[in-house]
Amino acid sequence: MERKKLMALGGLAPTSEMFRLAGQDILKKRAEFGPDTYRYEIYIRCQVMDGILKTAFYLTRDLKIGAVKPVYEVFIDGKTRTFLTWDVIHTKWRSSMLINLEWPRYIDDSNSYITAEENEEMKKYLGVAADGYSGILDYQEQLREEALARKHRRKTESWDKVMAQVPAEPKDWNHWVNKHGIHQNYVFYDYVRNGAKTGYCTYCEKEVPIIKPKHNALGRCRCCGNKIQFKSRGRAGRFFTKEEMIYLVQKCGEGTVVRQYCATRAYSAGNYETPDISCREERRYVYSADLEETPYYYGRYRFWEYRWIKGEKPDAGFGYYQYYKSREEKLGAVYKRTLPALSAGALRKTGLPQLARKVDRINPMEYLETLSRKPYLEQIVKSDLFQLAWSVIYDHRELELSDSNDFAKSLGIDKNRMKRLREHNGGFVYLEWLRFEKLRKNNIRDSIIEYFERNNLSPGDLDFIIEKMTPARVCNYLKRQYRETGRPPKELVSTWQDYTAMASRLKMDLGQEQIFKPKELIKAHDDLLALLGSKEIAMQAAEILEKYPDVDEICQQIKEKYEYGDKDYMVIAPDRIEDIINEGYILGHCLHRSEIYFDRIQTRESYILFLRKASEPDQPYYTLEVEPGGTARQKRTVGDKQNADYEEAKNFIRKWQKAISRRLTKEDWELAERSALLRVKELAEMREKNVKIRHGHLAGKPLADVLEADLMEAGRCAKADSLLVESVQEGEDKFCVAA
């Protein structure tokens, strides 16, 4: 509509009847709740002018004082189906509907006035049923809905073209859903004193023989052989089967569509033979010819309509209609009659049809997603290695394949072992044992490998014992321990590994069979744990000892030289690695979290000693890091701090340094000299790299400054002094060394 032409249209002046009614109207309470109102809040005039319906709206308050101008003029073009509003007060054009304009009070048909003749003219022009204000508003809302539909259609049109290519469901779909898609089946029987003899099988759909059934007990139908659950008709009541995912894979244009359904049965009391079957389609995954996935879900689009929407379905997160399922819940039966055509067409290079025909449940989307990352999955499936494929998809196993035209060689086995893997439907663990067998050139019975696979025990899990025992002996030992303890083999292996680690820590002779293969594994494990105090600390100590094998011995060697005490304090050396770890845990500093201190002990750069109060020799107080000559590098207590009480112990440390200096040998002083050089070099590197403390009460301070301030030297090393002098001459930072 051209705005100049609209403004040129004739005016619609208020009638004398409108002035009369407005003049007589008064404000008064017309409802139990709400403000005082007029009988008519607005007066409407309308007329078709030059093909345009012009409508003028007058306020009662304006007419009462003789105003002749409307508050709004609305122009509607029925041919182009558009409207515009002229705001007379603010002299501007507006596109708002009537309901969104500013009115003194709420407006509807009951408090607006229009003559019968003009009302009929308006209704005829707009083609609406409502009168006056509501008729015009209904027409405006209709136009808004049409505009919104056009806007949505621009976006959804491409979706609809894709959805139009999705074929109809197979004719036997509902029957297949009931028989194969939903796996739960029941036998309903009537209770009798001596036990019911027959019951109704929901799969067979007939009476079948039964023997002494119990309500909710599990069993198998003696006719069809399916797993069933017995239900007494008198006790079952109304119930549902568990919701199950099922899949329909079909050709869709040049690609494929995987349709995901959620199905369940509802059984009602007295009507168990004819359950209600619910099968709602929730998602569609459309794949192009090159297997690029585009997901769609059925839902409410923009609060407008229910339709297929492109994208992943958001999580609704409420009860029965949970949209996001666990990985296991997304496994479902696949309709198999469409698979032969797909295996020769769009899915011929995937292996999905072959796997779907062999397994009871699968998630086709997860299979195709895994295939995109692991292309060898197709070859695994087409080699009939279905359990191995399952390991790759759902156990996230990674296969290392060599480059060979022979797939058996690519897997690291030979043709004979490939045949065994296929015949036993072996998975990833089975393959690992076949590789192990080939590498060791010793055959392992298939029954033993099957035992290990059932219990998810790979050769890597038995690394700690496999050199001492054959797989057959390990298998027999685990079976015997299981019979005696009832613990799962996987748990027994973990316990066994902990036991050997603790035995190694205690320097027990693991070459003896009665040591590495105790008769009562759990008891032997618990006995060692009682000796060591903590399995976690013992395991950590064993790992440290493997890297730094001399630490325990050094701790014992330094006791005679470095231990000293008086009536107030004492310095003691740890007996073993566990003592150092415990000290770190109790005082809460970094001693147990960093291997650098064990590395320094191993190289005799520095030692860890414990400062104790003489009255509490077993209570951790301060931890000392000292150099072989007695120089104390660090003194730390709870939270890696030095408290005010440290000043009282400072004189004792001086006394200790003097006492041990008489015990040190020439070798100790040489180690002390080397340690001082390493310390000076390390501090210089820290300053050069501007290393700062990140955590704790000293966070943000230069680490070199903190360590240097903590230093208490027992004696001066000539080479260290020489290095300091050279550093000063070269313009480097001068380090503070206490005499």
pLDDT digits (tens, 9 = 90+) for 5-16: 999 998 899 999
What sign does the dihedral 711-714-718-721 (CA atoms) show? Answer: positive
- pLDDT bracket for residue 696 (50, 70, 90): low
Residue with structure tokens 């899949």?
247
Q: Which of 226, 212, 262, 255 is nearest to 241 (CA)?
A: 262
315 within 8 A of 323, measured Cβ to Cβ = yes
Strands 42-49 and 112-113, bridge-based pairing: parallel
- Judge if 33 and 141 occupy the same domain: yes
Domain boundary among 146, 163, 184: 146
- Judge if 130 and 179 occupy the same domain: no
Strands annotated E in 579-658? 607-613, 622-626, 632-636
- Judge if 186 and 108 occupy the same domain: no
- Judge if 622 and 671 occupy the same domain: yes
- Judge if 131 and 185 occupy the same domain: no
Structural domain contains residue 674: yes
- Model pLDDT, residue 540: 83
| Lowest mean pLDDT across 73-77, 258-262, 446-450, 647-651 | 647-651
Structural domain contains residue 710: yes
- pLDDT bracket for residue 508 (50, 70, 90): confident
- Judge if 663 and 717 occupy the same domain: yes
- Model pLDDT, residue 531: 75
- Model pLDDT, residue 705: 74
% pLDDT > 70, the chain: 93
Whether the pLDDT of residue 714 is over 80: the answer is no
543 token code pair: 């790992």
Structural domain contains residue 644: yes
Mean pLDDT, the chain, rounded, equals 88
339 within 8 A of 249, measured Cβ to Cβ = yes
Whether the pLDDT of residue 422 is over 60: the answer is yes
Structural domain contains residue 708: yes
246 within 8 A of 356, measured Cβ to Cβ = no
CA distance linking residue 62 with residue 50, whole number of Å: 29
Distance of alpha carbon 100 from its chain centroid, rounded? 45
- Judge if 114 and 220 occupy the same domain: no
| Lowest mean pLDDT across 138-152, 391-405, 412-426 | 391-405
Whether the pLDDT of residue 517 is over 50: the answer is yes
DSSP 28: B
Q: Which domain holds residue 616?
A: 548-729
- Judge if 575 and 686 occupy the same domain: yes
CA distance linking residue 490 with residue 429, whole number of Å: 13
Q: What is the pLDDT of residues 50-92, one digit of tens each?
A: 999 999 999 999 999 999 999 999 999 999 999 999 999 999 9
Helix (H, G, I), strand (E, B) or coil at 311: coil
246: number of Cβ within 10 Å: 23
If one counts the domains in the chain, the total is 3
Residue 63, φ and ψ in degrees, nearest 5: -65, -30
Whether the pLDDT of residue 731 is over 70: the answer is no
- Judge if 220 and 89 occupy the same domain: no
Distance of alpha carbon 719 from its chain centroid, rounded? 58
- Judge if 136 and 209 occupy the same domain: no
Q: Kind and range of the H or E element at 364? A: helix 364-373
Whether the pLDDT of residue 667 is over 70: the answer is yes
CA distance linking residue 263 with residue 177, whole number of Å: 8
- Model pLDDT, residue 719: 41
Q: What is the mean pLDDT of residues 642-648?
A: 76
- Judge if 582 and 710 occupy the same domain: yes
Structural domain contains residue 471: no
Structural domain contains residue 291: yes
Structural domain contains residue 465: no
Domain boundary among 334, 366, 388: 334
CA distance linking residue 190 with residue 234, whole number of Å: 7
- Judge if 576 and 616 occupy the same domain: yes
Structural domain contains residue 386: no
197 token code pair: 């003899």
Q: Which of 72, 28, 24, 27 is nearest to 46 (CA)?
A: 72
- pLDDT bracket for residue 564 (50, 70, 90): very high
Distances (CA, A) of 722 to 57, 277, 606, 627: 102, 92, 21, 19
